[in-house]
A and B are shown apart, each in its own frame.
Chain A
Amino acid sequence: MADLDAAWPRNDYSRVRYDLFHDSDVFEREQDRIFRGPVWSVLGLETEIPNPGDFRVTAVGTTPVVFNRDQSGAVHAFVNRCAHRGAELVREPYGNCKDHTCIYHAWCYTLQGDLIGVPFQRGANGRGGMPPDFDLREHGLQKLRVAVWKGVVFGTFTEATEPLPTYLGPLMIEHIGELVDRPVKILGYQRQRVFANWKLYLENVRDGYHASLLHEFNRTFGLSRLTQISGGHMDDRHRHSLLFQYAGSDDDQAARQAYARDRVQRGEYMTLKDTAIVRYVKEHPHGITTRIISVFPNAVFHQIYNCLGLRTIRPIDPGQFEIVFILFGYEDDDEAMTGHRVNQANMVGPSGLISMEDGEALELVQRATAPDRDAYGMYEMGGTGTIRNLDTRVNEVPIRGFWSYYSELMGIEPAGAVR
């Protein structure tokens, strides 16, 4: 086990020890304290399972989870593991069924996760079978508590988890709420396996600073620039975050000069033959053009111009995680708007004109920090000390916010910790 007492040389999380991205004991503790702890994880969208009997396989941390809709329309979620001998129960990633039957010994469960069938429970020809005191009711699937909010399905393993609206807080409710304020239509999935620690991705989506430095597409076409009106805000406990951006709020030439002065852009800026991909159709009165909304511990909602998505993060081991992107539009989008969103989906995911770089950047960090785990990364952009909202993206403060709540759940806060 890493020496977690030494994890934080500073109480404001402006130094993060590389150990936290590599240590397998840390990873196990995260499963217990975070993913099976007092948090709401996003499981998926209700529209993925529109009909009774529809199911989808997902995960909470490393725990395999299924969520489905029962005959009454209610959504249930449980661990995807037979209560008998532990076989994976549901083997298709999605589908429709009347019940869930394990292939190993044909134990059968309802869509509520209750055990209703054990073949030869009373034996055969008067021999064998389960002991007489075996009670089906005591051997259902391990259930998650489920909350559905505006079509988003959340699950938690802990009875003590606070109510979902309190957990999300007003900032998340406002901004996620706006993206799912009418029935959504799934446009497709993208999946990406990154050979890096899952927390590097949680840092990445809270890192306003990198968005136009790593991603030249953002810088070139002004989707996201540090010279624009933008910022990083958090909920009161700093566990979730919102990075927001107003494209068009800076001057193209002045912005390009600012980046050139700081030696970011060394070559010519490219141009496009078809500029539809960088056209923003205004959908909300405030005119925010990009929002990266991170929900602790496993989800990100994004609006990048008119590309809308939900990303869920599934840790696999300390050095590997998967991102599942669900790209969506609305039921009432016309054909042109759907086509526009599908075109703008070119900017995100593992082949995204903006986001492909993230996979590479995270793996660079994972590789280079591995041999020197007692060393520290540095997080001072936007200032040290108090964790607070800033109206700039030259700012790493939301990352410190993440580490602060992470440490609280992990029980590794330093003395006098900033929260």
Chain B
Amino acid sequence: MTVDLETKSRVDCLLTDSAMFIDRDELSAWLDCFEDDSRYVVIPRENRARDYPVALIHCDNKARLHDRVTCLRHANKFNPHFDRHILSTARILSLEDGVAAVESNFMIVQTTKTGESKLFCAGCYEDRINVTSPRARFRERIVVLDTFSIPTLLATPI
């Protein structure tokens, strides 16, 4: 659907900012992209297609999302790497009560600390975004992973 340029701009800004925060390893700033009452799920495409609830990362509230980042920072050991998100333009499906339903595609290239890059995953974001204030935030982000046979492991949020 077509929306006013201001709404489109708020959506685009959130999508690019949130990806950039991950790529820069600024996960606190990334957390600020979510509303206080929000949901973040990274789900294999096969589970999404078959309505299975189990995901890879399943945070039903922001506290759990915050905990995920805490664990990543303080407990988990994983393959040291850099991420680069490559995003598609966003498709706005609807706008109701200040919340836009938005779909966009992504690929992530992972690079090791010794400088080797490879395509890590591809998939699609299914977002519900609160666009009422100049700084839009996610109410819900469902990351549907086409690459659901995860190479090695998936630590950093997508």
Contacts and interface: CB of A to CB of B under 8 A. Distances in A.
A142 interface: no
Contact of B77 (A187, A345, A357): A357
B115 interface: no
B155 A189 contact: no
Interface stretch (B18-26, B67-75, B100-108, B133-141): B67-75
A303 to B, nearest CB: 16
Contact of B55 (A188, A268, A274, A357): A188
A343 B78 contact: no
Interface string A184-201: 001111111111000000
A217 B76 CA distance: 7
A353 B74 CA distance: 11
Contacts of A345: 54-55, 58
Contacts of B44: 188-191
A322 B67 CA distance: 28
Interface stretch (B8-16, B122-130, B144-152): B144-152
A272 B54 contact: no
A350 B63 contact: no
B65 to A, nearest CB: 9
Nearest to A347: B71
Interface string A318-347: 000010000100000000001100110110
A187 B56 CA distance: 12
A359 B54 contact: no
B35 to A, nearest CB: 16
A356 B76 contact: yes
Contact of B150 (A193, A216, A360): A193
Nearest to A192: B150
B27 interface: no
A341 to B, nearest CB: 8
Nearest to A328: B54
A360 B58 contact: no
A350 B71 contact: no
Interface string A205-232: 0000000001011001000000000000
A273 interface: yes
Contacts of B46: 93, 189
A121 B19 CA distance: 59
A193 B76 contact: no
A273 B54 contact: no
A158 interface: no
Nearest to B76: A356
The contact size tier of chain B is: 35 or more
Interface string A358-376: 0111010000000000000
Contacts of A217: 71, 75-76
A322 B61 CA distance: 31
B89 interface: no
Interface in B52-93: 52-61, 63-64, 66-68, 70-71, 74-79
A267 interface: yes
Contact of A189 (B47, B59, B67, B76): B47
A270 B54 contact: no
Nearest to A307: B54
A327 B154 contact: no
Contact of B153 (A186, A270, A273, A359): A359
A259 to B, nearest CB: 13
B154 A356 contact: yes
Given A270-B71, A356-B154, A191 B52 contact: no
B4 to A, nearest CB: 37
Nearest to B71: A353
A152 interface: no
Nearest to B64: A274
B42 interface: yes
B150 A267 contact: no
Contacts of B68: 346, 353
Which residue, of A186, A189, A339, has the highest number of chain B Cβ atoms within 10 A? A189
A188 B50 CA distance: 9
A351 B56 contact: yes
A220 B75 CA distance: 9
B47 A356 contact: no
Q: What are the 3 closest A-B residue pairs judged by CB atoms, nearest first? A: A188-B54, A188-B52, A359-B153
14 contacts: A186-B52, A188-B55, A189-B52, A190-B56, A194-B152, A216-B75, A220-B75, A267-B74, A272-B63, A274-B64, A342-B55, A342-B58, A350-B153, A359-B152
Interface of B: 42-44, 46-47, 52-61, 63-64, 66-68, 70-71, 74-79, 148-155
Given A345-B55, A360-B79, 13 more contacts: A189-B52, A192-B149, A193-B151, A322-B149, A327-B54, A342-B53, A342-B58, A343-B60, A350-B154, A353-B75, A357-B77, A357-B78, A360-B152
